Structure formats: structure tokens, C-alpha cells
Amino acid sequence: MKRDVDVLVIGGCTAGLYFAGLMARQGYRTVVCDCSRQEYLGRRYDVIHVGKEHFGRFGIPELGPGDMDYVTTFRRSILRSALDKWPKNACVEILVLRRVGFIRRLADWAKEQGVEILYETAFTEPLFENGRLSGALLCNGTGDIQINARLTADASGISAAVRTRLPDDYGVENFVTGSRDQFYVKLRYVRLKHPEKDRVEISTTWPYYKTWIAPREESDGAIFGVGANLSFDYADRCFKRFAGRVKLPEHELDHIEQSSTPYRRPPYSFVAGGFVVLGDAACVTNPWSGEGVPYAWLLCSIAAEEFGKAMKDGAYPVQDAVWSVNGRYAKAQGALFAQNLAMLSGAVSCTPEENDYEFEKSIIFEDEDEKGKGNLVLKLLKGLLSGRLSWKSLSRLAAAAGIGAKIYKHYMAYPESPQGLADWARKADALWAKSGSMADLAEADLVGMGAAEQPLAE
């Protein structure tokens, strides 16, 4: 079977459906395909957190009490030190949603904009005409479907099904996001033994261990989460260490969910002729939290504006015409995420006691009312002189801040045209080579834990 459309989106989850809806709203014939069954879409894990502000900002239909996919709202989150002290408050309204129901809601919204969704239909290979991407070959229970499209959007998640199949010189990097470049999340859904005193109504995070406790729908429930680079096994070991140091409320385990998100720099360009990569396929997750949904919406909204303009009157969107997607994204979010990603390994390489000092003096993490107060250099110097910060950790922190600042500046100066990319990418490669790797840290930590000799019992 053969079909002609304007836009073909591979992957019908939070990124793909949103982008498809935005393109259809501009009058483009848009088809989304997803290999999953309709009722299974989003089943990878149960509950997601999304800041309420993003709904208005991106024009996503809001939801609240009474909606099937709504769980709860919390307005305060807390960060605590490695020694479980010095709580730092963040006041942001967060909606807790059931992922499957929310994706169904997004699909309904996309359909209202005119999107057609093909479920149980997998992308198999990209199609080219005269060297230009011209759609894709799909496959479902009835056989092959050839879809000719002026724009193919890859929103297929971490597997980046289309991007990884593009030729080396097509204009968007075709790297595979391997195990060293992923953040492995394990969620323990628990029931509290003493909900009357331990009830979890806000989210608390311990950045040192990359662990958190979050509310669950049931008032006697909670979610204990951990994220770690490298492997689920390492994530488990991190959680075990955390539970040995921070007293968790007494509980019984209901079940565990596990899945991963990308943890690496995005491709240097998101766009090429007739192509855009979005969401986890584009690695646009927040390096601090691993969250990706609203950050992908930002890239989708920029891309939909630029492709919308470039595709007017039947035009094929060549890379030059949509190049501004890259620079706009870098300025709006990409430079900051790149800075954080480059800094993180240096910022977290310290002892629990040093992390506690950093919390006490609000060096990395600040309370809402501490923002901009105090002299950072003085605080670091005091820590060094009092022996609460080692020279080694301090120099690692300073090096991380230095490389982060350089990467930020470099991304803010993203080239105005594709012709400037090779030079810019060479400099970016050199900067990234100087930044540390969380996977290296994890490997060294595993050696320190004696992991090779001690298999972890569940």
C-alpha cells in the first residue's frame, strides 16, 4: 500500500503526538505510527510528574481532580543533603498523572487537530528520493505501507529508530544511545506501615544518591525512586546504600518498575532535509532529573513553528530552511542543559560530608529565599580552611563549573547556518572531551563497592 502525506511521525507518545498535533493544526496532513497497541501505549511505567506551568505554556489540555488520568498535585518539593539535613524548598506546582491515560488524552487532542494515528504499525526503513529523505516504509499486520512524506519526524524514544538509520552524512548524527549513555530508573511502589505519621504528600529528593520519595495515589502509598548511570544493577546498589544511610519510613513493597532515559548530549543538529528528531530520540532530557516530557514539548513547539513556515505551498523543508530550530532550542534550553550535563560529574564527586557542607552553606542547592545571597567563593574558602571541603573536591567542582560555563557560551553561539557547523562541532567535541563522564564515575564507584565480588540479592 502507498500513501502520500505531508508529515509522518514515528512514535506516538508524549513527543510524537504533541508535534503531530501542532503540524496538523497548521493544515498539514499528518500521520503518526506507533508499533505499540493503542491500549499499551505509555505502559512503560505508571505515573509521571509534569510541572503545571507547562500545560498553559504549550497549549496542552489541562486536567485536574475528576479526570481519570489525574492522580494528585503537589506544590512543594524538598531537596536534602547526603546526611539527610538542610532541606531546600522549591515551590513549583507539579501534576502527578497516570501515563497511559495522559497519552490517550494527548492522542485525542492530536486527532482533534486532524492527526491520523496508525497503531501496531512499525517503522522499518527510511525512504530516499534523489538523496533526499522522502518518507518511510512501515509494517503492520496487513503488510508493508509506503508513506511518502515531505517531513519525517523521529519521536521513537531512546531507540531513535529513524535517526540511527540515516546515512552518516545526512546532517543529523546517527549515534546509538548505548548503556553508558542512559539513566536507569527504578521505581519501588510501596505501602507505608504507618501512614498516619509517614504519609507522603510532597516529593523529597536526595541529589547525592539520585533518590527520591514521591506521593502515590493511595494515601498509604509512596514511590521510592532511584536513578543511576550505567545499569539497573548499579541503580539497585545506589538505592541500597541510600537506604542504609537515610531512614526510610517502614513499608512493604508492592511492585517495582524500571526503565531508562537518555543521558548524553543531543545530536548537534536536530534537523536535516525532510527530517527532525524529537524527545528521547533527540536526548533532550533534563540532566539533573532524567525527566523529559515538557523539555521535549519545547523542542516540538519550536520545530513545528519552523517546519510549518518552511513547508508552506508544498515546499520540501531543506536543512537550510529549518536550521533556526537548532539555535532557538540552544538559546531556550539546550545551552543550559549542556552546561548542567558537563558539570554534573564534577559537582557530585564528593563525600557525603562534603555534600552536607554544600547544602548547609547553600553552595549548589539553594532554598527559594536564599537565591542570590552570600558569597560563593567565601563559602568555598571557608569550607577548605575548616577542612569540611577537600582541595581535591573543590578543584573538581571548579573545573566542572569552568567547563560548564564554556559549553554554555559555545551553545549560545550556535552557528547561524549549516556551513558553520563543522567548525562549531569540532570546538564542541573538544569541550565535551574535557568534561567528566557519569558512567566513568559509576564504574569507579562499582569497583569501590566491590560489586564484582558481591552479586546483589533482591
> Considering only residues 106, 117, 172, 185, which one is a binding residue for ligand FAD as defined by CB under 6 A?
185
Grid cell locating 235 = 541503580
CB of 232 to ligand FAD, least distance (A): 11
Q: Are strands 116-118 and 251-262 parallel, antiparallel or unpaired?
A: unpaired
H helices of 115-212, where?
A: 195-198
> Considering only residues 41, 133, 238, 428, which one is a binding residue for ligand FAD as defined by CB under 6 A?
41
Burial group, residue 291, by CB count within 10 angstroms (0-12, 13-18, 19+): middle
State yes or no: residue 146 binds ligand FAD (CB under 6 A).
Answer: no
> Considering only residues 11, 21, 126, 383, which one is a binding residue for ligand FAD as defined by CB under 6 A?
11
State yes or no: residue 279 binds ligand FAD (CB under 6 A).
Answer: yes
State yes or no: residue 384 binds ligand FAD (CB under 6 A).
Answer: no
Q: Which is nearer to ligand FAD, 34 or 366 (CB)?
A: 34
CA distances from 144 to 128, 136, 139, 328 (A): 16, 10, 4, 37
Taken in order 215, 217, 223, 229, the sign of the CA dihedral is negative
Q: Which is nearer to ligand FAD, 205 or 393 (CB)?
A: 205
> Considering only residues 82, 149, 151, 161, which one is a binding residue for ligand FAD as defined by CB under 6 A?
161
Number of residues that bind ligand FAD (CB under 6 A): 38
Q: What is the DSSP string of 371-396?
A: TT-S-HHHHHHHHHHTTSS-HHHHHH
The answer to whether the CB of 305 falls within 8 A of the CB of 358 is no
> Considering only residues 26, 30, 36, 152, which one is a binding residue for ligand FAD as defined by CB under 6 A?
36
CB of 161 to ligand FAD, least distance (A): 4
Q: 231 to 270, contacts with ligand FAD by CB under 6 A? A: 259-261
Grid cell locating 50 = 509534569
Grid cell locating 65 = 481532580
> Considering only residues 291, 305, 360, 443, which one is a binding residue for ligand FAD as defined by CB under 6 A?
291
The closest of 228, 198, 195 to 210, measured between CA atoms, is 228
State yes or no: residue 15 binds ligand FAD (CB under 6 A).
Answer: yes
For ligand FAD, which stretch binds (CB under 6 A), given 47-55, 231-239, 373-381, 404-412?
A: 47-55
Grid cell locating 80 = 536534602
- Binding pattern to ligand FAD, positions 114-133, x when CB under 6 A? --------xx----------
State yes or no: residue 10 binds ligand FAD (CB under 6 A).
Answer: yes
CB of 162 to ligand FAD, least distance (A): 8
How far is it, in rounded angstroms, from Cα 343 to Cα 345? 6
Burial group, residue 458, by CB count within 10 angstroms (0-12, 13-18, 19+): exposed
CB of 217 to ligand FAD, least distance (A): 14
For ligand FAD, which stretch binds (CB under 6 A), given 75-83, 233-241, 293-301, 424-432?
A: 293-301
CB of 193 to ligand FAD, least distance (A): 25
How far is it, in rounded angstroms, from Cα 389 to Cα 387? 5
Q: 335 to 364, contacts with ligand FAD by CB under 6 A? A: none
The answer to whether the CB of 192 falls within 8 A of the CB of 249 is yes
State yes or no: residue 443 binds ligand FAD (CB under 6 A).
Answer: no
State yes or no: residue 72 binds ligand FAD (CB under 6 A).
Answer: no
The answer to whether the CB of 24 falls within 8 A of the CB of 110 is yes
CB of 41 to ligand FAD, least distance (A): 6
CA distances from 373 to 85, 366, 440 (A): 20, 9, 34
Residues that bind ligand FAD (CB under 6 A): 10-16, 33-36, 41, 45, 48-50, 122-123, 155-157, 159, 161, 185, 187, 259-261, 279-281, 285, 290-294, 296
